[in-house]
Structure 1
């Protein structure tokens, strides 16, 4: 374990021997600060660096725990890569951090896992934040693929994109080529980007920190997990105050997907970012921070008092 100012970098071993790379921002020895755990998206591609960039601003008031999920980043690439196993890993990290209850944030694929966690362990949550989600894993990937193939923003290898979204990638190189040709699809239109200053519109953090591609993780997530993922009829059981965030120009998880989730949650607030694509934290960072801070102050922090 190594400390970097108020940031603690650790390797946490799970019950089945897998090592997870973990960072806690705003760490305090007394563990009096409330805990927020943030899940990255894109299995086998994204890392802790995306949620770190998105939620570091909260480290004065929260312990912000971010990590590379098993099968991603520099955590061990040892399965299973099921939602149940990833949920068990969250529980291990919650206990390791010494928190009975916490705020859970999930971005993109991490939002799917966060939804499943909230259904299974809702009593552990006093807040849930979802960014770029859908509730139906059968339709979601197919709609995303359809939007890609009809988009004027990208020219892609059709067969390769089919392999990405069906979880049938040939190898890690196939995964890398698929993502690199797809990057412009995740951003807002050029006219929206042009209205933001350099300070307001930094480089997208969606795949920040990616140095390796792990197609086995992606393949399992989209060939096994997603066809089984459908929480539409269970959303009403999630009682935690929830913030649902989506970009107006998000063609991966479009606004209607977030609206469906928010409409079925008992205590949800839907926030649409008009100048964002799939990543409001980097497309509109100042607004994102303000919206999250306001939601925490109004809906979450009062629960702790």
Structure 2
């Protein structure tokens, strides 16, 4: 069985991991879900990493299996790693996509945002977004709409606008992530305890969780493989979809024998 945690914190929902990992349903039972406080799930705090990891294990227990493949992209990668550290005996393998082991990626992201020429940013909104000072759900959507042009290898304004409109926005969990979780987030000292085979993937042009963040993860997890997608930004699962699916299947074929 594979359980995938969506990214995005308060802007995330199950639609992305369903599209990414659903094609593996011929190999696994695949479970995707809206994390508490996200998507259509109830607003039942805390929205801490420890609680979200515990929720993953509750799903595993509900499904009646002893071990899972755990997966997550972006913020979901935070939770996948937290799960593998907290519940090592429950993880058969792990798949990570465009994520980070600590908060230093945000410093790099701000530098990348300042040096890019794709769009003009409202820096007050930028800082409010990344510090968790969003006023309401409509404000979260508006701030996300300003940032989304930075995420793709090639910017398509029509496609980006459609993704913004299709989103579900939960500012309470977003604010919790960046006020409470991210300031103390640092898994680097514990990544060496992860014993499961791990696939680490990242887009070459990812501005927010750059290649260096994935290199750190792959260096610190003993059985990690790093794959960089050369024509992708933050979402190689969409931008190089066929290659991404092939990469996952080849990895899983090796480690699940």
State the Cα distance separating 1:209 from its structure 2 match: 8.2
Q: Is 2:17 aligned against 1:41?
A: no
RMSD: 1.7
| Other-structure match for 2:185 | 229
Choose which of 261, 281, 289 in structure 1 pairs with 2:237: 281
State the Cα distance separating 1:186 from its structure 2 match: 0.5
| Other-structure match for 2:205 | 249
Would you tell me which structure has more helix in proportion to its own residues? 2
State the Cα distance separating 1:246 from its structure 2 match: 0.1
Distance 1:207 1:55 in 2: 19
State the Cα distance separating 1:99 from its structure 2 match: 0.8
Choose which of 115, 123, 127 in structure 2 pairs with 1:162: 127
Distance 2:165 2:193 in 1: 35
**Contact 1:47–1:208 (CA under 8 A) maintained in structure 2:** no
Choose which of 209, 214, 231 in structure 1 pairs with 2:170: 214
Gaps of 5+ in 1: 1-34, 194-202
Gaps of 5+ in 2: none
- The higher radius of gyration belongs to 1
TM-score, normalised to structure 1's length? 0.80
- Note the 1:9-20 alignment, pairs <5 A: none
Distance 1:61 1:208 in 2: 32
**Contact 1:56–1:64 (CA under 8 A) maintained in structure 2:** yes
State the Cα distance separating 1:78 from its structure 2 match: 1.8
Distance 2:50 2:63 in 1: 20
| Other-structure match for 1:104 | 70
| Other-structure match for 1:32 | none
**Contact 1:168–1:219 (CA under 8 A) maintained in structure 2:** yes
**Contact 2:49–2:79 (CA under 8 A) maintained in structure 1:** yes
TM-score, normalised to structure 2's length? 0.94
Q: Cα gap change, 1:211/1:247 in structure 2, threshold over 3 Å: closer, same or farther? A: closer
How many equivalent residue pairs? 254
Distance 1:260 1:70 in 2: 29
Query: Helix, strand or coil for the counterpart of 1:282?
Result: helix
- Note the 1:54-133 alignment, pairs <5 A: 54-133=20-99
Q: Cα gap change, 1:217/1:207 in structure 2, threshold over 3 Å: closer, same or farther? A: farther
